[in-house]
Amino acid sequence: MKHITEAARQVPVIAETEVLVVGSGPGGLAAALASAREGVDTMLVERFGCFGGNITAVGVEGIAWYRKEGTVDTEGIGIEFEQRSKSMGATSPEPQSNSEAINADMFKHVADVMVQEAGIHPLLHSVVIDTIVEDDQIRGVILHNKSGRQAILAKRVIDGSGDADLAVFAGAPTRKTPKEEMLPVTVMFSCSGVHKKRFLEYVKENPSTYKDWGKNWDIQKGGKEDDMFSPYLEKPFDRAREEGVIPSGLKSIGGTWSAISDSGEATYLNMIHMTEYDGSDVHDLTKAEMEGRFQALQAIKAMNRFLPGFEEAKLRTYGMTLGVRDTRKIVGRYDLTESDVRNQGRFEDSIGIFPEFIDGYNVLVLPTTGRYFQIPYGVLVPQKIGNLLVAGRSIAGDKISHASVRNMMCCAVTGQGAGVAAAVSVKDGVSVGEVNIKHVQSALQKQGARIY
C-alpha cells in the first residue's frame, strides 16, 4: 500500500486531567462515573454527540433481558442505569425478562444528567486518533473535532472505545477473532404505525421460544431455555423468502422485537445479522451500513405482508450507526476463559460479578440457575502500558467469555472496576498494575458494587 508522511505539527493542550476516559458506552460511562465519584478529576471524551455508546448510538435497549426468575445479578452502576432510566420515565417493561428496556433516545438525557451530577468534564464530538506514549506510559491523547486537532494530558487513561483503539494506538497487544467467526453486525431499526393489539394477539397465538432461535443457523442451548418465551420472529421472513417477496438468499433477516408503545412505535428491532464484517475495518463498516439499511427495508416489506399488526408499519429510524459486536480485545494480565464463565470462576482480585449468561458464537445460556462468575481485575489490565485500563467489550478473554462480558450490564461492571481502580491508583500514587486490589475492592463496595 502507498504511504505518505504527515508533517509534524503543534497541537494545543485543551485540558489536563487525572483520569481520562475515552468512549462513553456502558463501559466508559460507568468508568467515568465511578472515577469521578472517588473524587478524582475525570474527563470523558466521546466521538458522537451523545453519551451511551450502543444504547444511544445504535439503539440497543435490552440492558438486562437475561434476568429471569432465579438470576443472581450484578449490583452497581449498570443497575443504576436501568433504575435511573426508569425513574426518569425512560424505560418500558422488557417483554422476555424481569427487566426494563431503556429508551435509547431518552437515555441520551439520562446520561447527561448522571455525567453532570458526578462532576465529570464532558467532551462530545471528539474522536481520539492517537496516544502520546513515553516510557510505556500514555501521557495524553490527540483528538480531532470541529475545533481542529487538540491534545489532552492525563495521569491515567481508560479505553472505553469498544474496539481497544487506545490500546492499539499505544502499542499494547490486542487480538481479533478471525473475520469468518466474528459475531454479526446489525443495522438496528425501529418502526412506526404498528397496530400493537393485533401484533400482541398474533404473538399470543404464535408464541416463539428460545427453541426457535437458530432455525436458520446453528445454536447450542442447554435445553433448559428451550420452552421459555422469546420475542423472536422468523416465520414472517421465511414466508417472505418462500414467496419471493424478499430475496430467497437473504438469510440474515430474523431476530427479536422489544418495546412496542401504545402509539404504535416498535423500537430496538434487532433483525439484521450480517456475518463476515470486521467492525475495525472502514471498508467493511461502509459496506455493512449500506447493505444493512437495504436489508432493514426488506425486513419491513416482509413484515408488512406477513406479520399481523405490522401491515401499515413504516421505517421510523435507523440506528445512528452500525451495531458492531466483536472486534479487538486486549491481551490482558489475565485472559478470561469459557471455563471461568461456565464454571463459576472465582478470583482474589474480583472487581464484580455477572450471572452465567452466554449469548454468541452459536451458544445461548440464560442465567436461570443462580450461578454466577467473578470478573478478575487482570482482564482490564493490558500488557506493556503502565497507566492504561480497558472497560467494556474489549477486555481480555476468549470467544465464549466475550459472549458473556460483552453484554451491557457486564460492560458496566468492568467500567466501574476500571474507574475505581484508576482513581485509587492516582490517590495511592501507584501504577494501575501495582494498585492495591483490597483498596479497589473496598472502594467498589462503598460504591454499591457486589464483588463476591
Ligand X SMILES: Cc1cc2nc3c(=O)[nH]c(=O)nc-3n(C[C@H](O)[C@H](O)[C@H](O)COP(=O)(O)OP(=O)(O)OC[C@H]3O[C@@H](n4cnc5c(N)ncnc54)[C@H](O)[C@@H]3O)c2cc1C
Q: Which residues bind ligand X (CB under 6 A)?
A: 22-28, 45-48, 53-54, 57-58, 60, 62-63, 65, 127-128, 160-163, 165, 186, 188, 270, 323-325, 392-393, 406-409, 411
CB of 57 to ligand X, least distance (A): 5
For ligand X, which is the closer residue by CB, 27 or 378?
27
For ligand X, which is the closer residue by CB, 165 or 306?
165
Q: Residue for cell digits 470478573? A: 375
C-alpha cell at 248: 430467497
Q: For residues 143 and 165, give the distance between their C-alpha atoms in angstroms, rounded to a whole number.
A: 12
Cα–Cα distances (Å) from 396 to 17, 102, 203, 342, in that order, read: 26, 27, 39, 16
C-alpha cell at 81: 442505569
Pairing of strands 363-365, 358-360: antiparallel
CB of 396 to ligand X, least distance (A): 13
For ligand X, which is the closer residue by CB, 64 or 306?
64
C-alpha cell at 331: 491481551
For ligand X, which is the closer residue by CB, 22 or 389?
22
77 and 34 in contact (C-beta within 8 Å)?
Answer: yes
CB of 326 to ligand X, least distance (A): 8
For ligand X, which is the closer residue by CB, 143 or 426?
143
CB of 446 to ligand X, least distance (A): 23
CB of 117 to ligand X, least distance (A): 20
Query: HEC states along 56-71?
Result: HHHCCCCCCCCCCCCC
C-alpha cell at 436: 492495591
C-alpha cell at 104: 435509547
Query: HEC states along 210-229?
Result: HHHCCCCCCCEECCCCCCCE
For ligand X, which is the closer residue by CB, 273 or 306?
273
CB of 193 to ligand X, least distance (A): 23
Radius of gyration of the chain (CA): 22
Pairing of strands 148-159, 388-390: parallel
For ligand X, which is the closer residue by CB, 31 or 306?
31
CB of 161 to ligand X, least distance (A): 3
CB of 13 to ligand X, least distance (A): 17
For ligand X, which is the closer residue by CB, 26 or 376?
26
CB of 274 to ligand X, least distance (A): 10
Cα–Cα distances (Å) from 386 to 137, 158, 177, 376, 433, in that order, read: 5, 12, 25, 18, 7
CB of 120 to ligand X, least distance (A): 15
For ligand X, which is the closer residue by CB, 245 or 297?
297
Environment class of residue 185 by beta-carbon count within 10 Å: exposed (0-12), middle (13-18) or buried (19+)? buried
116 and 155 in contact (C-beta within 8 Å)?
Answer: no
Extended beta strands in 3-118, E state: 13-22, 42-45, 91-93, 100-102
Q: For residues 65 and 409, give the distance between their C-alpha atoms in angstroms, rounded to a whole number.
A: 10
For ligand X, which is the closer residue by CB, 406 or 450?
406
Within 13 Å of residue 227, how many CA atoms lie on the same side as its CB?
1
